[in-house]
Amino acid sequence: MTLQVKHKIVPNNSNRNIVFTETTGVYSSSNPGGYGATQIPTPFRETTDIVGLMYGSSLQILTVNGTFTFNGGITPTVIGSIYSVIYNNATAQSIAAGTTQTFDLGTLIPSTYIDGIYKSVYYNWFPGHYTVTSNTINSVIVSQPTEFINAKYINIYYSGGVHYIFEILSLDTTTGVMVLNGTVPLLVPADYDVSYESITYFANTYSINKCLHSRISKLAISSCTCNNGCTEKLYEAVMLYMAIQPNMDLGKYQKAQDIIEYLTNYCNDGCCNC
């Protein structure tokens, strides 16, 4: 098995902080996708091997249906960007070794970071150690296909400091032909970086959390029919709130988003008074 970069985002719904941790781990029989000297391709996949031409790694926070890719430019094509951060090589290596990163998105992007489901994309870079040459306008030939198994992007260097970054669409491990997302300029054997990507989702429910806690603190059973109706709606809202994380765990991100939107409307509508 080859490297499989993994990460997680843990939101704090009391203050809108998020904690980012890379969870790839160390290569072993129980963790065959981890970093290590014996990881394929040997011996180029230790945490200290994370070194990119421009930077070591990057974290992108997107809307739930946001998209992120490279198609030949030096910057990515992004839809639904909320926040992004780039890490130099030393910090990227530290993150791979387990150092966490904390962000206060409520301060960094207060008007954009609303209650909802968010998609996080993390990718890091390794220097290539073999050769890559042009084949067709949208593919290259790599001399060592094992270097690109599970890889997501390739950054190809050209003379004069020019480089192009492409998403890897497919890899033929027999012929070494790798199809890329974009037009590949003709090149002689060139240097390159290779990147691995991890995608995960998390839920921000900061405002809903405050709303429900406030209403629960004011909860009182009353003979007033209107108040009892408000209490029943609050019970329903709390149950729906508890359903967000189970849907996240099952990968039902749109359903979780629908629940958050419903609860946001509930919190904004208020309730009648007798």
pLDDT tens per residue, range 246-268: 999 999 999 999 999 999 999 99
Cα–Cα distances in Å, from 106 out to 62, 83, 195, 235?
15, 11, 30, 28
In this structure, of 39-48, 115-124, 155-164, the range with the lowest mean pLDDT score is 155-164
| pLDDT value of residue 120 | 98
One domain for residues 120 and 15: yes
pLDDT per position as a tens digit, 213-242: 999 888 766 656 566 778 889 999 999 999
121 in the same domain as 136:
no
Report the pLDDT value the prediction gives residue 11, as an integer from 0 to 100.
96
The residue out of 204, 229, 245 marking a domain boundary is 204
**What pLDDT score does 229 carry?**
78
Q: For the beta carbon of residue 103, count every other beta carbon within 10 angstroms.
A: 19
pLDDT value at residue 232: 87
Examine the domain organization and report whether 26 and 77 are in the same domain. yes
Residue ranges making up the domain that contains 250: 208-269
pTM of the full predicted structure?
A: 0.93
How do 116-127 and 153-157 pair as beta strands?
A: unpaired
- What would the mean pLDDT of 94-115 be, rounded to a whole number? 96
Which of these, 156, 121, 128, 122, lies nearest to 49 by C-alpha position?
A: 128
Residues 27 and 60 in one domain: yes
Shared domain check, 144 and 111 = no
Q: Which among 204, 226, 250 is the end of a domain?
A: 204
Compute the average pLDDT of residues 137-142: 95
CB atoms within 10 A of CB 129: 15
pLDDT band (50, 70, 90) for residue 274: very low
What pLDDT does 270 receive? 65
For residue 248, tell me if it sits in a domain: yes
Residues 33 and 49 in one domain: yes
In this model, does residue 131 exceed pLDDT 60?
yes
**Residue 11 counted as domain residue:** yes
Tell me: do 95 and 165 sit in the same domain.
Answer: no
Residues 84, 13 within the same domain: yes
Q: What is the pLDDT of residue 226?
A: 63
Same domain for 62 and 151? no
Q: Is residue 252 part of a domain?
A: yes
Residue 2 lies in a domain: no
Mean pLDDT of the chain: 93
Q: How many domains are there within the chain?
A: 3
Q: Within a domain: residue 274?
A: no
12 is a domain residue: yes
Q: What percent of the chain has pLDDT over 90?
A: 82
User: Are both 116 and 183 inside the same structural domain?
Assistant: no
Contact 127, 193 (CB under 8 A): yes
**According to the model, what pLDDT value does residue 273 have?**
47
pLDDT at 208: 97
Task: Identify whether residues 16 and 123 lie together within a single domain.
Answer: yes
Residues 154 and 68 in one domain: no
